[in-house]
């Protein structure tokens, strides 16, 4: 432990698995106090208990980020368990991929409610406290979909483009209040969501191989690699980084065509 996040009291959404759980593990190893939010109550409390049993300062509350009242209650609960939140990681998200003209209203609403409105609900819930404390950090986990388009993935990139726009807007709006708002954009990451994506193809192994070929290094990221980038962006090591996005995709979004 290098204590890079000492005195940080961080709320993390979508924290029961995947990138969110990796971020939680990385943060406590850097001496942060964390409060975890996820819709999966069973998995959330299971993972929170593991961290508590290891001696880390951890609180948790099952909540749906699309429910503003539930999020406000969770932030209040976080304050009672770990102290006033001074950093937020908006990690929770969902893949909604469809052809544009085949996208139902239900799919559209689900995509934007979780990927955009949910992040705003959480930001809105913590911002007054950050302002009152004289500063803080909000980190939005976006995606390379925030600035590139992959056909047949509508409307997910629209929501992620909007989340990046919200990042920039809030970053400028609250910079005078000493609040940094940034984004972290992973490419493909070895999470259950990606495994499920491959499983949707007739030949999952061939789909996996095609994904690997897209990357200059021939592999995709481990969740822990994204988590360590999040440690940096939440820490005090980048105090002048604001309203911007750090891309962690192994070069995926840079090359025009795969090798």
Catalytic residues: 156
How many Cα neighbours within 13 Å face the side chain of 121? 24
DSSP-derived 3-state class of residue 66: coil
The CB density around residue 191, as the number of other CB atoms within 10 Å, is 21
Q: What is the DSSP string of 156-220?
A: HHHHHHHHHHHHHHHHHHHGGGTEEEEEEEE-SB-SHHHHHHHHTSSSHHHHHHHHHHTSTTSS-
Phi, psi (rounded to 5 degrees) for 61: -150, 125
Q: Any idea how long the chain is?
A: 259
Neighbour order of strands in the sheet with 33-38 = 58-62, 33-38, 9-13, 87-90, 136-141, 179-186, 245-248
Q: Which residues are CB-neighbours of 77 under 8 A, at least 6 positions away?
A: 35, 59, 61
């Amino acid at each position: 432990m290098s204590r890079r996040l000492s005195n940080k009291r961080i709320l993390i959404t979508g924290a029961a698995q995947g990138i969110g759980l990796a971020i939680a593990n990385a943060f406590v190893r850097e001496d942060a106090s964390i409060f975890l939010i996820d819709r999966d109550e069973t998995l959330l409390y299971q993972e929170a208990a593991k961290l508590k049993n290891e001696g880390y300062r951890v609180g948790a509350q099952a909540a749906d980020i699309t429910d503003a009242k539930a999020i406000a209650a969770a932030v209040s609960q976080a304050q009672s368990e770990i102290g006033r939140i001074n950093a937020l990681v908006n990690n929770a998200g969902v893949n909604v991929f469809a052809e544009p003209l085949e996208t139902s209203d239900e799919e559209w609403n689900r995509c934007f409610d979780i990927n955009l409105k949910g992040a705003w609900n959480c930001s809105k819930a913590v911002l007054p406290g950050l302002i009152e404390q004289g500063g803080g950090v909000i980190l939005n986990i976006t995606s390379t979909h925030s600035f590139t388009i992959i056909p047949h993935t509508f409307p997910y990139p629209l929501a992620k483009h909007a989340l990046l726009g919200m990042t920039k807007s809030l970053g400028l709006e609250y910079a005078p209040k000493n609040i940094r708002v940034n984004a972290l954009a992973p490419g493909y990451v070895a999470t259950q969501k990606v495994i499920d994506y491959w499983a949707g193809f007739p030949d999952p192994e061939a789909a996996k191989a095609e994904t690997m070929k897209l990357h200059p290094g021939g592999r995709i990221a481990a969740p822990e690699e994204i988590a360590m980038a999040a440690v940096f962006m939440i820490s005090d090591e980048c105090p002048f980084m604001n309203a911007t996005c750090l891309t962690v995709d192994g070069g995926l979004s840079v090359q025009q065509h795969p090798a």
